[in-house]
Amino acid sequence: MTEKHRRSAVSLKQTVGKFIIRRLKEAGISHMFGVPGDYNLGFLEQVEADKELIWVGCCNELNASYAADGYARTAGLSALMTTYGVGELSALCGIAGAYAEHIPVVAISGAPPLAESERNAFLHHSAADGNFDNMMICAQQFSVAHARLTPQNVVGEIDRCLRACVLQKRPIYLQLPSDISYVTIGVPADPFSCNFQSDRLLLDAFMERVTTRLHSAASIVLLVDADVARFGLAEKIMSISAALRAPIASMGTAKGVIDETHPHYLGLYAGAYSQPGVQEVVEKADCVLLFGVRFIDSTTGGFSHRIKRAHRVDIRDWSGEIEGEDFYGISMAEVVDRLRDRQDTEWGCGGRVAAERAESPPADRSAPRNRAA
């Protein structure tokens, strides 16, 4: 048995609540937002006793969910604590917003005692009908992973859900029954791990296609969306723009992600509603690198975008597409690293034509935005 395997086999004894807190901290969470309620009070005692995880009490659950959303945008990940039923339903609008905008929030609901839910008891904060699945059904519509924790499943489910939250940048939902947070269980000694590596063959094949496209292109443009911020890739993508000498534009949902003083920054692209000069440069380029771009009505001037599919290289969070072929099992972060590591002499003159256009926009950049006919 290797040393790594020996470490993995080591088991510690911890209470369910302390193990959850430990995993949250190992994932990078330092603050938990929320509102106390009778079904989460036991767990909150453990949170308050911890010297590193800071409890941030809020005046109501909706405010708490928006606070958790805002904190995750800057810190990368956050936690929300509510009580069952009335509390979590009050927070649901904030969680749904985080789901729509790819914000990783760990939403924990203090649930009725496991023993009572298994008996289908008529309890307060429920619909008093013995149904303890309805809240889970509501939450799962706006979460990428969800679980009702038990002493038997908490070790596996915490890691499974946390990985989904970190990798997919969307909320997860955990029900923590009020009678299990002080139950002592065996837990792994290894810290939380969330490594993902692309399939090497697929990544190599995708990059070969991208390189060929970049070499043959007469004009190149980069277009970024909010996921660039979620994955912390803005600086690297700006360096790619500089190496390619290619202009870079933002979708409205990525406003502020790219430094607007960057020498190749074009402005906001929104189809026919784009800032002056931006639409022409983006839509006339014969190679458009799309980084996490989602074309929705509000960011495309009512779907007025006209970027030819044959000219697009879609680089998504966990997949890519070029010339109609999909590559699943590759990560945007690794594609960006591969592009950044290229020397700009490798790219030929591809980005120069578009860069020249970007440096000579229409004289009146304050003119009203173009409108669809």
Over residues 262-273, the pLDDT tens digits come to: 999 999 999 999
pLDDT in the model for residue 10: 65
Name residues whose C-beta falls within 8 Å of residue 129's C-beta, 6 or more positions apart in sequence: 122
> CATH: 3.40.50.9100, 3.40.50.300, 3.40.50.970, 3.30.60.50. Which one for 3-188?
3.40.50.970
Instruction: List the chain domain ranges.
Output: 3-188, 200-359
> Around Cβ 283, how many Cβ atoms within 10 Å?
17
Q: Which helix (H) or strand (E) holds 223?
A: strand 220-224
pLDDT in the model for residue 347: 53
pLDDT in the model for residue 157: 97
* Chain segment 104-156, per-residue pLDDT in tens: 999 999 999 887 777 766 666 766 676 778 888 999 999 999 999 999 999 99
Name residues whose C-beta falls within 8 Å of residue 60's C-beta, 6 or more positions apart in sequence: 35, 90
Q: How many CA atoms does the CB half-sphere of 284 hold within 13 Å? A: 11
User: Per the structure block, which two tokens stand in for 64?
Assistant: 């708490």
In the 8-state DSSP scheme, what is residue 346? G
What is the chain's pLDDT, residue by residue, as a tens digit (373 residues)?
555 555 555 689 999 999 999 999 999 999 999 999 989 999 999 999 999 999 999 999 999 999 999 999 999 999 999 999 989 999 999 999 999 999 999 999 999 988 777 776 666 676 667 677 888 899 999 999 999 999 999 999 999 999 999 999 999 999 999 999 999 999 999 999 988 889 999 999 999 999 999 999 999 999 999 999 999 999 999 999 999 999 999 999 999 999 999 999 999 999 999 999 999 999 999 999 999 999 999 999 999 999 999 999 999 999 999 999 999 999 999 999 999 987 544 554 444 444 444 454 433 433 333 333 2
Q: How many CA atoms does the CB half-sphere of 152 hold within 13 Å? A: 1
Pick the closest to residue 322 from 244, 205, 227, 237 (CA basis).
205
Q: How many CA atoms does the CB half-sphere of 65 hold within 13 Å? A: 24
Domains 3-188 and 200-359 share a fold: yes
Per DSSP, helices labelled H in the chain are 3-9, 16-27, 41-49, 61-75, 86-100, 114-118, 134-140, 154-168, 200-216, 227-230, 234-244, 278-284, 332-340, 352-359
Cα dihedral sign, 267-279-303-310: negative
Q: What is the CA radius of gyration of the chain?
A: 24
Cα–Cα dist 260/61, whole Å = 36
> Around Cβ 237, how many Cβ atoms within 10 Å?
23
Task: State which fold the 200-359 domain adopts.
Answer: Rossmann fold (3.40.50)
pLDDT in the model for residue 346: 59
